[in-house]
Structure 1
């Protein structure tokens, strides 16, 4: 394969999760089921928040935004994967690949930032309960979500712009089921370290920044809760954070595990299989994690289906 200009690139080949023809039907059914469950669960959560006035609070506003992002997140990768399995084709156009990189980077960053914003919301609710409605007013909530979108949109555009300048081969195989940024960079022939430094620096800042905010918020929460004298009060305070903590744990453990393993992994295909955890499984589980132990959402879902709570 000879190197060429960007205009000569026709398509990439997504190798998927397995090259075994006998497993393709199983993979199609499995991922179609998980995708439909993800869309259904998150959409139901959004409808419950919108339809119930009791849930028109900052916490559920951020949660509905997280559910919307999760729907878009999985829709960026899974439909194309299902299409390739159904048509028995591995091809994706150059424009389609860059588009996947843009939306995947944008939505993954949004997930990260929204989790940090939700941690801040819990910090204000527990540490400053008397001023909660004043601090977390609708204007601030809207600005926080808008800031998340703007920052991550600029980051995604920058990553794609730098990638457009990199020289690719005319026909490339990607050992993944979608066009992932790290895999794309690995397949270029750029000798300049500048692009790599900028890419990894931006990703690092947008990962470390929100994670540091989450750690700071919960350090203050733990300090505040430890001052509560009654065991019932402590339990009630921590129960409001349990679902969010579990989602944060899933997101960061799966995401960081995949990226750290992919750097030193001998098999890119193995890394692709592990990445299913944070690209498919985590968005699928999020609405159930927030719903199963939350009586407000359970009541809203019953009212949504026309049943009395």
Structure 2
């Protein structure tokens, strides 16, 4: 049954059709790394990994979703299950959709969450114990991703996340890890010096891509923006795409540090929220 999804590990977007029972199962991984969209009309259920694929299906309402416009303007992304289109939904992270064909030809759908992340800090751990546990979990996670029969590389920006992932990968590999970073013309955004220092420390074979050397045309930029199918405010898209195109000529699988800031509170907004939470304990000012 659908309970098998709870035993899966890693990133996935799955569609399984049971021809005998005339049922369809859609499932998305726990963190929503792989996208999965669907649209339900009176006579059909369409699904795809890209929004623009569903826009080509007849009878789907592709008028702009006003709530998604508000969310995009305020949050710089569109939270699932909303999408930019009224008739298209995004399957949420850790969610499955079960659809069945009724006798009258109608389609019955229901969604449910098979996993919810729970943050439960263990206050009994000392700092050193917490560090040891985090190191063990990170090392094990990286080692699982190294089970590949193709050439493997790693994005190494010089930040903490990608540096730790690259270091763990190099430590576990038999040979030399291939690492990559992007050099930006504006020094305010460039971390090449840190990336080179980490690469030298772990002993990886490092390649730096200069973003100011004609990386793509205007048509290429437009294609990247339209590929998402809805507003996408992460400008790192262009640098990541450029370095991935370079990596593709040498390796087939690439590791990255994406997700580390979310898991360990690495963004400035988390620090500001923590400061606000502390200030809420101060007594109110009386005038």
TM-score category, normalised to shorter length: under 0.3
Structure number with greater Rg is 2
Q: TM-score scaled by structure 2?
A: 0.24
Larger relative CO (CA 8 A, sep 6+): 1 or 2?
Answer: 1
Q: TM-score scaled by structure 1?
A: 0.23
